Structure 1
Amino acid sequence: MKRGFILKLQPSLYYSHTLISDIVQPGDTVIDATAGNGHDTKYLSSIVGKNGKVYSFDIQKEAINNTKKLLSENNIIDNVELHNCGHENIHRIVKDKISCAIFNLGYLPGPTTNKTIITHSKTTLPAINDCIKLLKKDGIIILVLYYGHPGGQEEKNDVINFAEKLNQKLFTVLKYQFINQINEPPILIAIQKKKDKI
């Protein structure tokens, strides 16, 4: 460690971007499975560059519009494909191998959004499975779990249970969470693929 360097532990959202920056390369194909307000889509776009591709999904038109606005404000047009549908449709739309997929699970953040529209295990787990099939060797799936809302605990438990059962010979799975914070701090799950064929 360099003298004078101070390591600060990152919240799950920022740590997800650290993981992405370590793995995703220019020219890669990646997925934002929950576009939300567009921040992950924008970040992924900046990393894969003009020769890469970002597939961004959200079931809410408001989220797609928010993402489109953010991308337009940052002059990002060519390498992002927006899909106004749930991430359970990934298998129909994405055919290329991916180096990364990111999910922010919960509801669309914002003061005026409908917080009763949430992600659910019944669509999230199949979408994760679809991303696993598309994932390159050493590629990563990042799941940021927001669960302090009705229905959130069930999805959180289902996703963690799924990740814990992945074969350790085929996948490395990380769970990252602050444990001394109130109000259900987000949990980050990272799944990295060890082999091309599983």
Structure 2
Amino acid sequence: MEKNFFTNSMNLAKEICKVKINKGDVVVDATMGNGNDTIFLAQLVGEQGKVYSFDIQKIALENTRKRLKESNMEGHVQLILDGHENLYKYINEKVTLVMFNLGYLPNACRSITTKGETTILAIKKALELLKENGVIILVIYYGHEEGKAERKMLYEFTSCLNQKEYNVVNLRFTNQINNPPELICIEKR
């Protein structure tokens, strides 16, 4: 029996990662959070690859470091206590994929959220770092005021990207209640 495929945006984002990422690739987790995406990406790139993982909250870095150590994966992951808009300060190589899980850190202070302005700065820098056929994945949690503003800014920004250079897709769950997360993917041609 086949499992449901279109369950939520995060699961779809992970399926895209599985298709796009190969062992040895360099990828970015632009929003480290509690380390779930960082560990997932580290598994996909393997020991030959590299994951750069960003967050502005020290607790996110500590939680992720602990989880990486427990999983024996800390060797090919660089944890960075800084905003994703500063990724250009740390990365000077081409990357296959950049994942953003936007909103606030679960089980933490909800007033600390990603912001449209800094997320768009990060996307602009990530576009420069992307390899041909590379992807930026944006999982947008917009069930709070800052999230709604960020979502609007991301729609405006991504809809203006040159179609000769990028494929942009937006996935929304139209029959789900309570502001289900949305997915925007930008693929470099």
**TM-score, structure 1 normalization:** 0.93
Inter-CA distance 6–66: structure 2 relative to 1 (3 Å threshold): closer
State the identity as a percent.
44
Residues 94 and 130 in structure 2, CA contact (< 8 A), matched pair in contact too: yes
Q: Which runs of 5+ in 1 are unaligned?
A: none
CA separation in 1, counterparts of 2:13 and 2:67? 20
Unpaired runs of at least 5, structure 2: none
Structure 2 equivalent of residue 88 of structure 1: 85
Contact 2:42-2:76 within 8 A present in 1 as well: yes
1:15 to 12, 16, 24: 12
Q: Which residue of 2 aligns with 1:73?
A: 70
**CA deviation map 1:50-81 (0-9, x unaligned):** 11100000000011111111111111121000
Question: What is residue 173 of structure 2 aligned with on the other side?
Answer: 178
Matches within 5 A, 1:29-178: 29-110=26-107, 113-178=108-173
Structure 2 CA distance for aligned equivalents of residues 6 and 29 of structure 1 = 30
For these two proteins, the number of residue pairs brought into alignment is 189
Instruction: Look at both structures and tell me which one has the larger radius of gyration over its CA atoms.
Output: 1
Measured at CA, do residues 50 and 177 of structure 1 come closer, stay the same or move farther in structure 2, by a change above 3 Å? same
CA contact (8 A) 2:120 2:154 kept: yes
Q: Deviation at 1:150?
A: 2.2
* Code of the aligned partner of 1:149: H
* Backbone CA RMSD of aligned residues: 1.0
CA distance in 1, matches of 2:3, 2:111: 40
Question: Partner amino acid for 1:157?
Answer: K
Amino acid of the structure 1 residue aligned with 2:153: D
| Greater shift in the superposed pair: 170-179 or 94-103 | 170-179
8 A contact 2:21–2:45 mirrored in 1: yes
